[in-house]
Amino acid sequence: MRKKWMAVILISVLFLTMAAWGSNGNNTNKTNSQETEQAGNGIVSQKDDSETEDKASVETLPEESEDSAEIQSEENNDSHILIAYFSRVGNTDFPEGIDALSSASLILKDGEIYGNTQYIATLIEQYTDGDLFLIETEEKYPADYDETDEQGGRENRERTRPELAAHVQNIDDYHTIFLGFPIWYYDMPMAVYAFLEEYDLSGKKIIPFVTSGGSSFSDSISEIQKLQPEAEVETDGFKATHSKINDVTPENVGEWIAGLKL
Ligand SMILES: Cc1cc2nc3c(=O)[nH]c(=O)nc-3n(C[C@H](O)[C@H](O)[C@H](O)COP(=O)(O)O)c2cc1C
């Protein structure tokens, strides 16, 4: 009899440990929760690699989606506005406990760490109810800022096109695309070139927004137009420098969007 109880207790402990482990796995980092949000926002995207860390959120999807590594929204959100952005957060494996306050490229809001461009993207989302989409590279950038700086410089000189890890499958559903990125080497990060080369955005409106250390749009607006000659590219983009990012209010972004007369 005693043996039987011990077996019951052992099985219960094992079960509880596995449950706790599983729930942590779904909250390991912000990218995972972002991915769930993206999938729930009506974007139909496809991950190239089902073995990436984001798989934790994919696991909650129906089995056939997981097998084909496809993320398919079950909500029928009829937003026609896409907010596609590239940012260091989401494209970097940061160690636990990263110090957001001492980094030029991270901000802390309400206990959450955001990339500068990601933060502006979330403000745009508040005003437009558009669908957020992270332009995500297959390979993460180094957590060390200087190493990312070096890598970004190398990619820019060599005009590399990094492989993208997620793709918008329902791009035709969107008539307006807010496109956000940090200025890297007075230019768009190469991942943004890869994004723009992947789709035919003819007839759509592209509205750029950038963050930087001080540079403005540089040639990025004309580069976007070159890559998407049949799209209407807004020249009145939004820009913010990283030292002032905490001063950007939702109202600033709201006023800019109101002026666009979408
Ligand atoms: C690889 C790299 C290149 C950069 N090049 C520039 C630049 O040419 N001009 C500039 O003003 N800031 C530059 N910056 C600073 C970023 O544009 C700025 O910190 C931006 O807000 C980062 O946004 P994020 O947090 O969304 O990644 C660079 C940063 C990195 C990592």
State the DSSP H helix or E strand holding residue 208, giving kind and residue range, or none if neither. Answer: strand 205-212
Q: Which of 31, 105, 120 should be mutated for ligand 1, with most atoms under 8 A from CB?
A: 105
- The domain segmentation of the chain, as residue ranges, is 30-260
Q: Which of 107-121, 131-145, 237-251 has the lowest mean pLDDT?
A: 107-121
Q: List, chain by chain if needed, residues with CB within 6 Å of any ligand 1 atom.
A: 87-88, 104-105, 115-118, 148-149, 152, 182-186, 211-215, 242
Residue 48 has pLDDT above 60, yes or no: no
For the CA of 241, the nearest atom of ligand 1: 21
Which one is predicted more confidently, 4 or 244? 244
Phi/psi of residue 221, nearest 5 degrees: -65, -45
> What is the spatial distance between Cα 74 and Cα 105, in angstroms, rounded to a whole number?
34
User: pLDDT category, 54, cuts 50, 70, 90?
Assistant: very low
Burial of 24 (0-12, 13-18, 19+ CB in 10 A): exposed
CATH topology of domain 30-260: Rossmann fold (3.40.50)
Most trustworthy range by pLDDT among 24-38, 43-57, 241-255: 241-255
Q: What is the pTM of this model?
A: 0.76
Task: Output the residue whose Cα is nearest ligand 1's atom 19.
Answer: 105
Mean pLDDT score, 149-167: 98
- In this prediction, residue 47 has a pLDDT band, given cuts at 50, 70 and 90, of low
More confident residue, 49 or 28: 49
